[in-house]
Chains A and B, each alone.
Chain A
Amino acid sequence: MIREDLAPEVALELAVELGLKPAEFDRIVEILGRTPTVTELYMYSLMWSEHCSYKHSRKTLRLFPTEGERVLQGPGENAGVISVGDGWAVAFKMESHNHPSAIEPYQGAATGVGGIIRDIFTMGARPIASLDSLRFGPLEKPRQRYLFEGAVAGIGGYGNCIGVPTVGGEVYFEEAYEGNCLINAMAVGLMREERLTRAVAAGPGNLLLLIGSTTGRDGIGGASVLASQEFDERAEEKRPSVQVGDPFEEKLLIEACLELLDAKLLVALGDLGAAGLTSSASEMASRGGVGLEIDVTKVPQREEAMKPYEIMVSESQERMLAVVTPENLAAAQAVCEKWGLRSTVIGQVTGTGRFVVREGDTVVADVPAASLAHDAPVYDPAAERPTYLDEVQSFDWRTLPHPDCGYVLEDAFLAVLASPNVCSKRWIWEQYDHQVMLNTAVLPGSDAAVVRIGDTGRGEMTRRAIALSADCNGRYCYLDPYLGAQIAFAEAARNVACAGAVPVAITDCLNFGNPEKPEVFWTFREAVRGLADACRFFGVPVVSGNVSFYNESFGQAIYPTPTVGMVGLLDDVDQRCTLAFKREGDVVVLIGETEDDLGGSEYLKVVHDVVAGRPPALDLALERDVQAAVIEAIQAGVVNAAHDCSEGGLGVALAECCLAGGIGASIYLSDDLPPAVALFSETQSRVVVTCAPEQTDALIDICDRHEVPYSVLGTVGGDALVFNDEMRFPLSRLREAHESTLPRYVGTAEAVAGVSE
C-alpha cells in the first residue's frame, strides 16, 4: 500500500512551492493516476527541474553535431568519451556550479570540481586534468574580490587534495556578472577503450550498493531551488542549499571505484549529483529499462529524523551508486573496506520498470522509473531578438578619439596589458597543483595546456598528448550571440592549434539568463546555432555539455556565455609548442591579417569605458586554414613559438610572448592602419609565430600552400619590446603591468588595503 499523505489541493500547493508548474503537476497526476505523495513530488520537482531535465533547451541542443569517428560516447551519459588512438580513450565534460558559488564561493566551487570529477570516473576513466572557466564582477568591488578569492581557494582546496592537476582555464571580470558569478568546471579522464562504463542498471535481483559519504540535509533542492531560479533579495536564505565538499572522501572514491571496475566487480556505476539518489537511480533504471526498489532506512544518515523525501533528494557530496550481483557483493565491499569507505546495500534492481521507495515496510513512492528521467515536459520557448542589439551594434568606434603616438598610446597599451581580463593569471594558477601526475607538458599561462597521455606510476606511458583549452568572450556574445559563440569555438580551437594539436572534440557549458524570457531565449538559440555551425564546419563534434539557465539577479541577465572546452590531439608530446619567444635573432611572423576590429574590444572597454560595436568578423574557412598552417609549421619543426591574438590585440600577444621567454623583440607595425588599430584590433584568425631565419622560406611556403596571408613583423632579441623603433617597453615595465594586477587586488592583506574603493 502506498502512503497517500497529501490532499490534492495541498499537493498542488507544495508542487508549486517546489518549482513545478500547475500543468506539470497535472501531468504527474496523470502518470500516476492519483495524487502524488510528498516524496514523489520532491522527486519529480527535482528531476523535472530545468537543471536536470533540460526542458527549455532540449530541442535547441539537437542542432549540435554529436557524432564522429572518434566518438565512443556522445551526450546523454555522465561524460562524453572519444578515442585518442592506440586503444586509449579520453572522457571529458564541463559543468556549471554558478548559483551555489554565488552564495558560498569556497564550497560552491569546490563541490563543482568534485561533481565533475565524479562524472569522469563514473565512466571508468581516471581523472587526469581539470580546467575552470570563471566570471565575476569588477574587482574594485569587495564582494567580487571575496567571491573570486573564495572560488579560487575552493577549486584549489578540492583539486589539490584529490591529486588531479588543474592545468588551465580562463577568467573575466565584467559588470554583467556582478550579481551572478559563473563557475564552470571541466574535467578530463583517461582510460583504455574497453574500460568504458555506462550507468545502465541491469539484472533484476542485482543489488544497489551506496558507496561513500553519509546522507544529510545539505543540498536539498540544489538543482531546483538554486540552479533553476533567478536570484533576488532572498538569495542569502538559500545558503543551506549549498553542499559541503570532502575531497579526501572523493580521493578514496576515485581509487576504490577504479579498483572495483578493474576487478570487474560492478554491473553499473553512477554518481550522486544534482537531485541525489533520485536522479542517479532513476537514470540508471530508465537507461536499462528496469525497475528499482530502495529502502531509505538502509541509507546511512548523518542527521536524525530525516524524512524519506530528504534522503531521496539530498545532494550530500561524495556518494556513488553501484549495481552489483549478489555473488560479487562481498568482494566489492572488501574493496570499499580497504579504502576505508562505507558501502551499504540500499535496495535492488527489479523487473517491474517502477521506481519504488520504501521506508521500512511502507511504500512512500511508486512511480514509473522512466517518467522521472525521460517524461519531463519539453518546452518550445518563445524567442525574440533583444532590442538592445540595434543600439550596441550601431555604435561606431571611429567616432572616438584614438591615441596615435607618444605617452598617450604607451599608457593605453600598458593599461590594456594590465587590465584584469588580459593580465597574467599567475596569482590563480600558482594556487593550483598543476603538475601532479607528471604529465603536464605545457604549464598554465600558455594558449592551451598540454597533457601527456599515460597511466603514471601504474601502467603504460605514451608519446601522445592532448591539448586543452576553455574559452568564451562573453562580451562578443552579448554584442552578437551567433558570432560570439563561433568566436568562442574558433579561439578554443586556435589555442589548441598553437600548442601544435589538432582540435577533435568539445564539451560546452551554456550559461544564460531566464529562458522563459523571449529575449534571453533568442540569445541562447543564436549562440547554439553559431556554435553548432562552427562545429559542423570544423568537423568537431560536441560530446558532452551542460546548460545553466536563470543566471540573473534582480531581473538582469548575465552576458550570454557559451563556454567551449576543447580537446586537441598531438601525436608526439615533443612536438608541443609554447608562446615563449626563444632565441635572439628569430624572425617574428604574423599568420593572418589585422583588420580594423575594435568593436567589443578590451581597448574600448579599458580606455574608453565602452562595451559596444560589432565583434570582429569570423571567416570560418580562413580560420581553418590559419590553424592548419600553424599546426603544420609546428609539427614540421619550422616554428618554435606560437601564440594566438585575442583580447587586447597584437600588441598584448607580442608582450606575452616576450614575457614568457624573458626576451624582447623589435616589431614594425604596418603604416596602413592607425596605431591604435594595429595594436589593439581583435581581428580573429591571427597567430604570432617565430622561426629561425633559415626557416623563413619554409614557413612562407607553408602559408602559401594553405593560402593564408602572413607578414614579417620583426625579430626577437634585446630586453625590450620595441615598436617601429619609437615605442620602447623594457621587459621589466611590461612585467610590472602584466603581473601586478591580481596581486594588487587580492594578493595580500596589505595589497588589498591599498586598493581604493
Chain B
Amino acid sequence: MRFGIVVFPGSNCEQDVKHALDLLGFESRYVWHGEQDLGGLDAVVLPGGFSYGDYIRCGAVARFSPVMSEVVRFAERGGPVLGICNGFQILTEAHLLPGALLRNRGLKFICKEVPLRVERSVCAWMDAEPGTVLRIPINHNEGNYYCDAETLARMEANGQVVLRYCEPDGTRAPGGSAPNGALDDIAGICNERGNVFGLMPHPERAVDPVTGRTDGRVVFESVVRRMAEIGG
C-alpha cells in the first residue's frame, strides 16, 4: 500500500501528510504537479495549502495542473483519493465531488480544533461507528460548504455526507454547529462510490501525539484496511 502526496506550487501541508503517514508506518512519496504517472500508487492525497496562491477561487487553477487529469482517471477507476482543505477545494473544482467551498461566514480565517460527528456513509476513508465524535483541527478561510438542495438530498440518500461539525457531545446546535457557516454543518463528503473523500479538517494534524490528539488516524487507517480487504 503506497500513498502519493501531490505537491502543487503553493501546497504547504504535503510534508505534514508525509509525516503522519511515516508515523503510521505507511509508505508514501511526493508527486510533483507536473507528473503524469501515478503508477505504483494505491491512494492519492491532495494536501492543504494555497495552490498557485489561491488568488482567484481556491483550487480553480490547480485543477488544470497536468497531474489532475491523472488523478481524475485514477478516481474513475475506483482508486482512493483524499482531498484535505485546499485538496477538497480542488476536488470540487475538478468535479470529482459536488458543491463548492465559499468564504467563511465570519469572513475570517479559522485555525482551531473542532468536534466532528461521523455520519453513516459509504466512504472508504472513514471506517468508524456513526455517531463517533472526532476532534480534528480546521485551518481555512474558505470552508463554508455549499450545494443546491437537490444535490444535498441526493448525497444524504447515497450516504455521501461523511463528517458534520457538531457540539462536543455530538449533537448539532439548532442554529448550526459549523464554525464556517457550512450548509447542513457539512465538514466532509465523498462521491457515490465512496473512494473520493474531501474534508476541510486536517486529519494529518491529529496523528502525532506531540501535537495533541490522534483522532485523525482513522482516516488513513480506514483506507488501508479497506484496500487490504479488497486486495488492493
Residues of A within 8 A of B (CB): 153, 156-157, 160-163, 246-249, 251-252, 339-340, 429-441, 443, 452, 456-458, 461, 573-574, 747-748
A439: chain B residues at CB < 8 Å are 210-211
**Residues A161 and B111 in contact, CB atoms below 8 Å apart:** no
Residues 115-153 of B, flagged 1 when their CB comes within 8 A of A and 0 if not, give: 000000000000000000000010101000000000000
**Residues B10 and A251 in contact, CB atoms below 8 Å apart:** yes
**Residue in A248, A437, A747 whose CB lies within 8 Å of B55:** A248
In order of increasing CB-CB distance, the 8 nearest A-B pairs are A163-B12, A457-B15, A248-B53, A457-B18, A161-B50, A457-B19, A456-B15, A431-B109
8 contacts between A and B (CB under 8 A): A161-B10, A340-B9, A431-B109, A432-B109, A437-B15, A438-B19, A456-B18, A456-B19
Task: Tell me, rounded to whole Å, the shortest Cβ–Cβ distance linking A273 to chain B.
Answer: 21
Given contacts A248-B53, A438-B205, 7 further A-B contacts (CB under 8 A): A160-B50, A251-B53, A252-B9, A340-B9, A433-B139, A435-B137, A747-B106
- Which residue of B is nearest A443, CB measured? B212
**Residues B111 and A248 in contact, CB atoms below 8 Å apart:** no
Q: Roughly how many angstroms separate A436 CA and B205 CA in the complex, as a whole number? A: 8
User: Which residues 186-232 in B have Cβ within 8 Å of A in the complex?
Assistant: 202, 204-205, 208, 210-212
A161: chain B residues at CB < 8 Å are 10, 12, 50, 53-54
Q: Roughly how many angstroms separate A299 CA and B9 CA in the complex, as a whole number? A: 24
Interface size for B (C-beta < 8 A) is 34
Q: Roughly how many angstroms separate A458 CA and B141 CA in the complex, as a whole number? A: 27
A436: chain B residues at CB < 8 Å are 12-13, 16, 139
Residues of B within 8 A of A (CB): 9-10, 12-20, 22, 49-50, 52-55, 106, 108-112, 137, 139, 141, 202, 204-205, 208, 210-212
**Which of B52, B110, B111, B139 has the most chain A CB atoms inside 10 A of its CB?**
B111
Q: Roughly how many angstroms separate A457 CA and B16 CA in the complex, as a whole number? A: 6
**Residues A438 and B111 in contact, CB atoms below 8 Å apart:** no
**Residue in A249, A251, A438, A748 whose CB lies within 8 Å of B204:** A438
Task: Tell me, rounded to whole Å, the shortest Cβ–Cβ distance linking A16 to chain B.
Answer: 41
Task: Tell me, rounded to whole Å, the shortest Cβ–Cβ distance linking B137 to chain A.
Answer: 6
Task: Tell me, rounded to whole Å, the shortest Cβ–Cβ distance linking B46 to chain A.
Answer: 15
**Residues A441 and B50 in contact, CB atoms below 8 Å apart:** no
**Residues B16 and A431 in contact, CB atoms below 8 Å apart:** no
- Which residue of A is nearest B52, CB measured? A248
A430: chain B residues at CB < 8 Å are 110-112
A339: chain B residues at CB < 8 Å are 9
Q: Roughly how many angstroms separate A456 CA and B16 CA in the complex, as a whole number? A: 6
Task: Tell me, rounded to whole Å, the shortest Cβ–Cβ distance linking B22 to chain A.
Answer: 8
**Residues A438 and B211 in contact, CB atoms below 8 Å apart:** yes
- Which residue of A is nearest B15, CB measured? A457
**Residue in B10, B16, B54, B141 whose CB lies within 8 Å of A438:** B16
**Residues B50 and A247 in contact, CB atoms below 8 Å apart:** yes
B50: chain A residues at CB < 8 Å are 160-161, 163, 247-248, 251
**Residues A435 and B111 in contact, CB atoms below 8 Å apart:** yes
A443: chain B residues at CB < 8 Å are 212
- Which residue of A is nearest B22, CB measured? A457
**Residues B139 and A246 in contact, CB atoms below 8 Å apart:** no
**Which of B15, B20, B212 has the most chain A CB atoms inside 10 A of its CB?**
B15
- Which residue of B is nearest A160, CB measured? B109
**Residues A434 and B13 in contact, CB atoms below 8 Å apart:** no
A573: chain B residues at CB < 8 Å are 210
Task: Tell me, rounded to whole Å, the shortest Cβ–Cβ distance linking A591 to chain B.
Answer: 27
Q: Roughly how many angstroms separate A747 CA and B111 CA in the complex, as a whole number? A: 15
A461: chain B residues at CB < 8 Å are 19
**Residues B9 and A438 in contact, CB atoms below 8 Å apart:** no
**Residues A163 and B211 in contact, CB atoms below 8 Å apart:** no
Task: Tell me, rounded to whole Å, the shortest Cβ–Cβ distance linking A522 to chain B.
Answer: 42
A438: chain B residues at CB < 8 Å are 16, 19-20, 204-205, 208, 210-211
A248: chain B residues at CB < 8 Å are 9-10, 50, 52-55
Q: Roughly how many angstroms separate A251 CA and B53 CA in the complex, as a whole number? A: 9
- Assuming the contacts A339-B9, A432-B111, asked whether A452 and B15 have C-beta atoms less than 8 A apart, the reply is no
Q: Roughly how many angstroms separate A441 CA and B16 CA in the complex, as a whole number? A: 14
Q: Roughly how many angstroms separate A573 CA and B211 CA in the complex, as a whole number? A: 10
**Residues B16 and A437 in contact, CB atoms below 8 Å apart:** yes
Q: Roughly how many angstroms separate A434 CA and B15 CA in the complex, as a whole number? A: 15
Q: Roughly how many angstroms separate A649 CA and B18 CA in the complex, as a whole number? A: 44
